[in-house]
Structure 1
Amino acid sequence: MANPSNSTYPVYRIENKMSIVDPEMPSPRYHNTIFIETWEDGYKSGRTCHVIGDLVTGMTYNTRIDQDPELDPMFFAKHFLGNVGVADYPDRLNEVLGRLPAPQKQKSFNPRTMRTEQHKSPGVFYEEGEQRPPMVKCTEWTVNQAIPALFEAGILVRATEPS
């Protein structure tokens, strides 16, 4: 049941510890998601919006009803971002996030080196010493694409953190 006293929902960026760390990515790294606290499935529950997948297969946008993120054993941190209006949730929010390009396949098995490596495009690998762009994962999608897109669309509005 939703918290009936709200005309807006608080929105947070959640960081969760990862069970498998990519040795080629700078550490520490956390799985970053956007969490809208709606109370739609109990106290402090809401919707998690994020990308799922990996660098070998590519990622896709995903959303799910979730419990209070602080109850997750992998929980690391919660950062208040602002509020989303009830009128924009979930349809308009999902429309904006669903239009964003999810991180694509960025690594493949290289039969020449017998390793899974970052590639320029599938089948075209970087040469030794060649400059490689940073890989894009959930953190980059959430922080650099999703959150700015929600602010730009006027769906996410800066506010003071609820007490």
Structure 2
Amino acid sequence: IVDMPPGTGDIQLTLSQRVPMTGAVIVTTPQDIALLDAKKGIRMFEKVGVPILGLVENMAIHVCTQCGHAEHIFGADGGKRLAGEIGIDYLGALPLARSIREQADSGQPTVVADPDGEHAQLYKALARQVALKIAAKAKDFSAKFPSIKISRDT
């Protein structure tokens, strides 16, 4: 599993062409500009033959730490709409939550810091979906590896 920066730059293109990949999970936020980048990423992975396992919408909703009010500050369901338009699986949404950031900053990701909490359950559900998709994929990557020639003429 490789976490790459957003976009379709040299890093993404080089890795997808040179490293065997079972698939890509596209992560986006709901804003229109981010959705355009996600769409470009999907097209790039399709061009180089990397299957799209699905799409995750990050920062989909913000929940106020003071009153609990939930608000779609970056727009609602942009990732879900994009997945539907393109015909890929929508794997779910993650909130913009201070606790997630604080736990990660402390060195204990949410699934470790609060394994039974609501946010940890979201991460676990996403991980299960991705694991099932990976398990269902064929395991032959021989075409992706460069050929190695052995000769006695050393």
For normalisation by structure 2, the TM-score amounts to 0.29
Greater share of residues in helix: 2
Greater share of residues in strand: 1
For normalisation by structure 1, the TM-score amounts to 0.28
Q: Greater RCO between the two (CA within 8 Å, min separation 6)?
A: 1
